[in-house]
């Protein structure tokens, strides 16, 4: 995640420590996801576009990009900068037709809907928008089904409660959503060791596992994570 062009880690969706190291695909990664969490999008947009262009030049794996995407023009701008996929979140909740417009114009494979979820007191779940600051009243499963029906090609599912904890994914939540749709569900929030990746795939029924913070605190490579997953019977590219 980038805040004013600087790489950050987060915990429970609060920007935490900042980093200037921009690692890309040197560790056999399969895909890179870049999100702009800068509050003032008007002032930061060109800076972010410049970052995406730089990443795209050095990156030889799919690049999914999001943060403040709210129009067909935003899709076009990010794709022009080198993004392969565009991630939408808050604006899609406010206007679900944005998903349909993006899918029709650029193809379903281009549209990724990010869902940020928080557990309620009764252990039910609720979708949040605006970087986890606004409850929407939406049920994650119902929203996931609508997202799929409107043409999204993938869902990126993040547990706000687990974000940055290194305690493992919320695989109960992940399975609820993954079982409800046919499109790939990428899970995020909480990975702290290789076994968590395996659990995300097996218990959470995820199509792919995402992580960020774990690599700020370890010298271990993604290649070693894949070897561990492969040894556990997970079909990964090693």
pLDDT at 20: 43
- Reading the block at residue 61, the tokens are 């794996």
Instruction: Give the distance, in angstroms, between the CA of residue 91 and the centroid of all CA atoms in the same chain.
Output: 15
- Dist. CA 196–CA 211, nearest whole Å: 10
pLDDT at 25: 44
pLDDT of 110 higher than 50: yes
Task: Report DSSP state, residue 36.
Answer: B
pLDDT at 164: 83
- 128-137 pLDDT, tens per residue? 999 889 999 9
Which of 149, 150, 156, 36 is closest to 102 using CA atoms?
150
pLDDT at 13: 52
CA dihedral 167, 178, 7, 216 (to 10 degrees): 30
What mean pLDDT is reported for the chain? 86
Q: Which residue has the higher pLDDT, 212 or 218?
A: 212
How buried is 166 (Cβ within 10 angstroms: 0-12 exposed, 13-18 middle, 19+ buried)?
middle
- 136-165 pLDDT, tens per residue? 999 999 999 999 999 999 999 999 999 888
pLDDT, mean of residues 84-89: 97
Which of the listed ranges 15-24, 29-38, 89-98 does the model predict with the highest average pLDDT? Answer: 89-98
User: What CATH number does the domain located at 2-231 have?
Assistant: 3.20.20.70
- 20-70 pLDDT, tens per residue? 444 444 446 788 888 886 655 555 578 888 888 988 888 888 999 998 899
Q: Which residue has the higher pLDDT, 59 or 123?
A: 123
Residue ranges of the domains in the chain? 2-231
pLDDT, mean of residues 212-221: 59
Q: Which residue has the higher pLDDT, 105 or 52?
A: 105
For 183, left (φ over 0), alpha (ψ -120 to 50), or beta?
beta
- Dist. CA 8–CA 212, nearest whole Å: 10
pTM confidence score: 0.86
DSSP β-ladder status, 125-129 and 85-88: unpaired
pLDDT at 14: 58
Instruction: From residue 202, give the alpha-carbon distance in Å to each of 208, 211, 215.
Output: 11, 16, 22
Least confident interval from 82-91, 162-171, 206-215: 206-215
pLDDT, mean of residues 90-118: 97
- Percentage of the chain beyond pLDDT 90 is 59
């Amino acid at each position: 995640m980038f805040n004013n062009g600087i790489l950050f880690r987060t915990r429970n969706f609060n920007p935490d420590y900042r980093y200037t190291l921009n690692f890309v695909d040197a560790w056999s990664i399969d895909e890179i996801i870049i999100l702009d969490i800068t509050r003032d999008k008007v002032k930061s947009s060109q800076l972010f576009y410049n970052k995406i262009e730089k990443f795209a030049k050095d990156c030889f794996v799919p690049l999914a990009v999001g943060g403040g995407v709210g129009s067909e023009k935003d899709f076009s701008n990010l794709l022009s900068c080198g993004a392969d996929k565009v991630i939408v979140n808050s604006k899609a909740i406010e206007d679900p037709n944005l998903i349909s417009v993006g899918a029709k114009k650029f193809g379903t494979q281009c549209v990724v809907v990010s869902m940020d979820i928080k557990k309620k007191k009764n252990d039910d779940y609720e979708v949040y928008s605006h970087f986890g600051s606004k409850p929407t009243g939406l049920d994650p499963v119902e929203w996931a089904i609508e997202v799929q029906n409107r043409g999204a090609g993938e869902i990126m599912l993040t547990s706000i409660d687990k974000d940055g904890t290194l305690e493992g994914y919320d695989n109960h939540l992940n399975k609820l959503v993954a079982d409800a749709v046919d499109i790939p569900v990428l899970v995020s929030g909480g990975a702290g060791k290789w076994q968590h990746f395996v659990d995300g795939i097996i218990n959470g029924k995820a199509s792919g596992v995402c992580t960020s913070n774990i690599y700020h605190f370890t010298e271990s490579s993604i290649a070693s994570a894949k070897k561990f997953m492969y040894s556990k019977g997970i079909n990964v590219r090693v």
